[in-house]
Amino acid sequence: MKEIDWSNLPFGYMRTDYNVRCYYRDGKWGELELCSEETLNIHMAATCLHYGQEAFEGLKAFRGKDGKIRIFRPEANAERLQSTCNGILMPELPTELFCEAVRKVVKANERFIPPYESGASLYIRPLLIGIGAQVGVHPAKEYLFVVFVTPVGPYFKGGFATNSYVIIRQYDRAAPLGTGIYKVGGNYAASLRANKMAHDAGYACEFYLDAKEKKYIDECGAANFFGIKNNTYVTPLSSSILPSITNRSLMQLAEDMGLKVERRPIPEEELATFEEAGACGTAAVISPIERIDDLENQKSYVIAKDGKPGPISEKLYHKLRAIQYGDEPDPYGWVTVID
Ligand SMILES: *Cc1c(COP(=O)(O)O)cnc(C)c1O
pLDDT of residue 154: 84
Report the 10 Å Cβ neighbour count for 25. 13
Q: How far apart are CA 339 and CA 26, in angstroms?
A: 35
Percent over 90 (pLDDT), the chain: 94
Whether residue 186 has its Cβ less than 6 Å from ligand 1: no
Strands 163-168 and 285-294: parallel
* 57 has pLDDT over 80: yes
- Note the pTM of the prediction, 2 decimals: 0.97
Distance 245 CA to ligand 1 centre (A): 7
Ligand 1 center to 26 CA (angstroms): 32
- Nearest ligand 1 atom, CA 249: 8
Sequence-distant (6+) residues with CB within 8 A of 332 are 252
Question: Mean of the pLDDT values across residues 310-325?
Answer: 98
* Mean pLDDT in residue range 96-121: 96
pLDDT of residue 155: 83
Within 13 Å, how many C-alpha atoms sit on residue 119's CB side?
A: 17
What's the pLDDT tens digit per position in 9-45? Answer: 888 899 999 999 999 999 999 999 999 999 999 999 9
User: Residue 19: beta bridge partners?
Assistant: 35
- Write out pLDDT tens, residues 274-296: 999 999 999 999 999 999 999 99
Q: Alpha-carbon Rg of the chain, whole angstroms?
A: 20
Residue range 90-110: average pLDDT? Answer: 98
Instruction: Establish whether residue 58 lines the binding site of ligand 1, counting it when its CB lies within 6 angstroms of any ligand atom.
Output: yes
Check residue 1 and give its pLDDT: 58
How much of the chain, in percent, has pLDDT values that exceed 70? 99
Between the CA of 104 and the centroid of ligand 1 the distance, in Å, is 23
Residue 8 is predicted with a pLDDT of 87
Classify the C-alpha dihedral 263-211-168-283 as positive or negative.
Answer: positive
Angstrom CA distances, 105 to 33, 109, 154, 230, 295, stand at 10, 6, 21, 44, 45
Cβ–ligand 1 distance for 242 under 6 Å, the answer yes
Q: Which amino acid is at 229?
A: K
**Å from CA of 136 to ligand 1 middle:** 31
**Residues 118, 62: contact at Cβ < 8 Å?**
no
Q: Is the pLDDT of residue 2 over 80?
A: no
Mutating to test ligand 1, I would choose from 80, 125, 182, 183 the residue with most ligand atoms within 8 A of its C-beta, which is 183
- Nearest ligand 1 atom to the CA of 191 is 13
Q: Is 16 in the pocket of ligand 1 (CB under 6 A)?
A: no
Q: Dihedral angle at the C-alpha atoms of 70, 14, 198, 196, nearest 10 degrees?
A: -140
